């Protein structure tokens, strides 16, 4: 019996723009800047509005900057970690906007964006683990790479 399996086409990554996590966080940033930030009350201009604006723009920027430093031992991973931290900030800030200002912002949109940043944080974590494993194989091609099992791995 011949077993046929479908092999997914592997997309070549030639730029940070090819990373799905970059695309998703850029799209989420546009949503935050167009649909959430302008609707918050003026009294939040220097607090929640400013935080949302800075954090949502930081995530794709950090991914792009980290990708440029992928050849450095710790460079790429530092930016991946910082991107995950900004995703967490976005989850908290969007939750605050939704819960404090339900008459100003669309709660369903906030929930969708929270889910997008949560997914992006998990993607960034997996990207960091995959990159560490890849670098180990490049540095030590004759040594079997260790499996990375993170006890606190986000799923």
Distances from the Cα of 32 to the Cα of 61, 80, 151, angstroms: 15, 21, 32
- 63-89: per-residue pLDDT in tens? 999 999 888 867 888 999 999 999 999
Mean pLDDT, the chain, integer:
86
Map out the domains of the chain with their CATH numbers.
29-135 (1.20.1440)
- 85-108: per-residue pLDDT in tens? 999 999 999 999 999 999 999 999
37 Cβ partners below 8 Å, 6+ apart? 49, 52, 53
- What's residue 129's pLDDT? 87
- What's residue 13's pLDDT? 82
Whether 148 shows a pLDDT value over 60: the answer reads: no
- What's residue 145's pLDDT? 47
């Amino acid at each position: 019996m011949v077993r046929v399996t479908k092999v997914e086409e592997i997309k070549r990554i030639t730029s940070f723009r090819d990373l799905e996590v970059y695309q998703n966080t850029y799209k989420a940033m546009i949503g935050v800047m167009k649909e959430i930030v302008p609707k918050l009350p003026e009294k939040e201009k220097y607090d929640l509005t400013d935080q949302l604006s800075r954090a949502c723009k930081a995530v794709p920027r950090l991914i792009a900057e980290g990708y440029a430093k992928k050849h450095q031992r710790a460079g790429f991973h530092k930016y991946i970690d910082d991107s995950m931290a900004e995703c967490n900030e976005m989850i908290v800030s969007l939750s605050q906007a939704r819960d404090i200002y339900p008459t100003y912002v669309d709660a369903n949109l906030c929930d969708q964006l929270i889910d997008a940043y949560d997914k992006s944080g998990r993607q960034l974590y997996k990207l960091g683990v995959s990159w560490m494993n890849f670098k180990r194989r490049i540095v030590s091609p004759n040594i079997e790479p260790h499996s990375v099992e993170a006890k606190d791995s986000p799923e």
